[in-house]
Structure 1
Amino acid sequence: MKSSTLNSAEKFDASRANEYARQSRIALAGYDACQDLVACMLAASLGSTVSAKVLVVGAGGTAQEIIAMARLEPNWHFTAVDPSESMVETARQQLALNNLLERTDIHLGYVEDLAAEASYDAATLIGVLHHLDGDDAKRQILRSIRARLKPGAPLIVAGNQYAYASQPLLLAAWGQRWRQHGASPDEVKAKLGKILQGADPPHSEAAVQKLLHDSGFGDATRFFSSLFWSAWMTCKL
């Protein structure tokens, strides 16, 4: 598992971390809306819980999910985990700008590095699964999260699905999205080539559901979709 996530972390070096906020908002139309809905879904699931401990896996970069949750729920606290030093530093800067460092424990590393007895009220795994090679690595991170959740706790999973080449219309629209934001034809071609080689997303929503079931989670409810990207909420069984 760690070798797979290490390879994924290497993708997010300093240059990519520095441009992540802009790039992610182009690649995912509705980026901020998705993060806002993550906060809303967890708040709705946890109900009248005054305070909650939320595990945020793959928190590097914008830390936008933490910012959105913290804005909605001022008594929630967060544990942020990410294996990329550059992405963690970028997230730390965003958390500092939003006065959230005191409410966030930041861990450079992996879910497995957290104490086995850690117990969280909820968790998020956003933009991570499609960067892990193979179903075994995907199940392993899901099981590691499950082991640190309270019974019945909600989990938000969000990321790309489909084998990209299997959806030529979506892929073409994704390229047009970049063109819409000023990319030249050569730049669009390069980005399309990169996405076709650079990730291993689950190949369908059914595949996502199976990964969750295999890892000890219940049926998932999809609440956001944008081209290849979807977001679901499930709960620990």
Structure 2
Amino acid sequence: MAIDGARTFLDKFADPAAVADYAAGPPRYVPGFADLHRMTGILLAEQVPDDAHILVLGAGGGLELRALATAYPGWRFTGVDPARAMLDLARGALGADARRAELIEGYIDDAPSGPFDGAVCLLTLHFLDAAERTRTSVQIRDRLKPGAPFVAAHASFPQDETRGQWLDRYAGFAIASGADPVQAHGARDAVSAALNMLSPEGDEAVLRTAGFRDITPFYMAFTWRGWVSYA
């Protein structure tokens, strides 16, 4: 799905009920969701200074912003997201730490040129097809200082004959975590119908093509993968 397709996806965030319930969703569908945030902070902190400026693409909702701001009180953030209602939610999630975050409505092209000390993009890039994912990754890299870390995690799983089994596990985890079974199976079917899903090997190829180096997987949980790489 290219940018126009991503805009279609944004329609769900025009629903106040969906926005209000957003925070409950990721922990049900993403194994180790809070741990993913903690690992992201650790990977960034290995390389960035105590007063780092971090770019967060797909910052709507503010869950990763809140986790990082709480754990690293010297960092400041520029968060970018195309959904205004989700950015409002992020401001609320940040509370007093909102003073350390500039929140921008838009896409990667709307982000400042930086250079940033590090970047994060969680649960977002799978909404883009391979070409747009590569273009976006290039734009992220171009906004980073040389050697700066980039942490990305999103849906990425084998696109071979085992694809259906992985999707069943995705739904099964959500149900076991308290999601409504009808909604969980609906989410499974939506992911199954998406033509923009890549295998882990395909996602690593995107990062290489975008110019990132030392690409290292650090997170694997059913249909989810995460990598740290460097500009």
TM-score, with structure 1 as normaliser: 0.87
Partner of 1:84: 83
Match of 1:6 in 2: 7
Counterpart selection for 2:105 from 108, 116, 124 = 108
Segments of structure 2 that go 5 or more residues without pairing to the other structure are none
- Quote the residue 1:195 is aligned against: 191
Matched residue type, 1:50: D
**In structure 1, what is the Cα distance between the partners aligned to 2:60 and 2:26?**
12
Query: Counterparts of 2:149 and 2:180 in 1: how far apart (Å)?
Result: 42
RMSD over equivalenced CA pairs, Å: 2.1
Offset, 1:60: 0.5
Residue correspondence of structure 1 range 1-237 to structure 2 within 5 A: 2-14=3-15, 15-46=17-48, 49-61=49-61, 63-96=62-95, 99-116=96-113, 118-132=114-128, 134-162=129-157, 163=159, 166-183=162-179, 185-198=181-194, 200-203=196-199, 205-236=200-231
Shift of 1:199: 6.4
Give 1:102 shift: 0.6
Change (3 A) 1:218 1:187: same
Deviation at 1:82, TM superposition (A): 0.2
8 Å Cα contact 2:117/2:145 also seen in 1: yes
Query: Displacement of 1:146 after TM fit?
Result: 1.2
Shift of 1:233: 0.4
| Aligned mates of 2:134, 2:165 — CA distance in 1 | 29
3-state SS of the aligned residue for 1:219? strand
Checking the alignment, whether the CA contact within 8 Å between 1:120 and 1:150 is kept in structure 2 is yes
* C-alpha distance after superposition, 1:215-237 (max 9, x if no partner): 1111311111111111110001x
Which stretches in structure 1 are left out of the alignment for 5+ residues? none
Out of 186-195 and 72-81, give the one that drifted further: 186-195
